Chains A and B, each alone.
Chain A
Amino acid sequence: DAKTTQPTSMDCAEGRAANLPCNHSTISGNEYVYWYRQIHSQGPQYIIHGLKNNETNEMASLIITEDRKSSTLILPHATLRDTAVYYCIVRFTGGSQGNLIFGKGTKLSVKP
């Protein structure tokens, strides 16, 4: 079973920031938080990952709470092409337990 809880769906206006929440209250100290997205009928695309510090790259920012029990993916200026299913995945890095296991994700719809 996935170790994360995400809203089933969210809407966002084009040009506004999209903030996608994720709860992972049972996360352990050596588990990372990963975000992927899947645009319709394509393969998932890696967005960002982090352990405890906030992270930013050219696609998004990842904010992890101090207790690490939740995180938020931020797309600063959402475009129509950001419409996709976004997956938050908690992943242990070490041996076979480090496989990427997907849940149901959040379907983000960016509207004009």
Chain B
Amino acid sequence: ETGVTQTPRHLVMGMTNKKSLKCEQHLGHNAMYWYKQSAKKPLELMFVYSLEERVENNSVPSRFSPECPNSSHLFLHLHTLQPEDSALYLCASSQLPGQSYGYTFGSGTRLTVV
């Protein structure tokens, strides 16, 4: 356990389903991140939250909708996904964006869209 917990670990969903990924950290961090890792591709930064406010959205399609209700929890709401959205979705946290501290990553949710 790294201190960042992601659930579920695996998720299979149809293209018309709505599901949510959950991330939780109790490290006292103030920033949280969503990354996507497709097969044989580098990790791609999707969203950045700092002090519960979204500060970055890297041209992510609207079928991905993040939510950060407090500094310990981060969600990624999914609807009408495409098969190419199948990937490992990773959550991370840090003290604050832009500071020299490292990020702590969760183990990820392996998403398969059928």
B42 near A95 with CB under 8 A, answer no
Q: Are B98 and A44 interface neighbours, CB within 8 A?
A: no
Q: If the complex has contacts A34-B102, A46-B102, are A101 and B45 also in contact, measured as CB distance less than 8 A?
A: yes
Once A99-B45, A104-B42 are accepted as A-B contacts, the answer to whether A42 and B99 lie under 8 Å apart by CB is: no
Contact in complex: A46, B98 (CB < 8 Å): no
A95–B48 Cα distance when bound, in Å, is: 12
CA distance A102 to B46 in the complex (A): 12
Cβ of A31 to closest chain B Cβ, rounded Å = 10
Q: What number of A residues sit within 8 Å (CB to CB) of B?
A: 25
* Cα distance, A60 to B29, chains bound together (Å): 25
CB–CB B43/A95 < 8 A: no
- Which of A45, A95, A101 meets B98, CB within 8 Å? A95
Which of B14-22, B65-73, B77-85, B104-112 faces chain A?
B104-112
B59 within 8 A of A: no
**Inter-chain residue pair count (beta carbon < 8 A):** 61
A43 with B92, Cβ < 8 A, contacts A49-B100, A96-B55 known: yes
B100 CB contacts on chain A under 8 angstroms = 32, 49, 93
Q: With A43-B105, A43-B108 in contact, is A98–B98 under 8 Å at CB?
A: yes
- The CA-CA distance from A94 to B55 in the complex, in Å, is 13
| A99 touching B108 in the complex, CB below 8 Å, given contacts A43-B2, A43-B90 | no
- Asked if A100 lies at the interface with its beta carbon under 8 angstroms from chain B, I say yes
A34 and chain B: residue at smallest CB distance: B102
* CA distance in complex: A97, B99 (Å): 10
Q: How far is the CA of A43 from the CA of B4 in the complex (A)?
A: 10
Q: Decide yes or no whether A103 CB sits under 8 A from chain B.
A: yes
What are 9 A-B pairs at a CB distance below 8 A?
A41-B108, A43-B4, A43-B90, A43-B92, A44-B43, A44-B90, A96-B97, A99-B56, A100-B45
- Please name 14 further chain A to chain B contacts, defined as beta carbons within 8 Å, in addition to the given A41-B88, A43-B108, A102-B42, sorted by A numbering: A41-B108, A43-B106, A44-B92, A92-B98, A96-B56, A96-B98, A98-B97, A98-B98, A99-B97, A100-B45, A101-B45, A102-B35, A103-B42, A105-B42
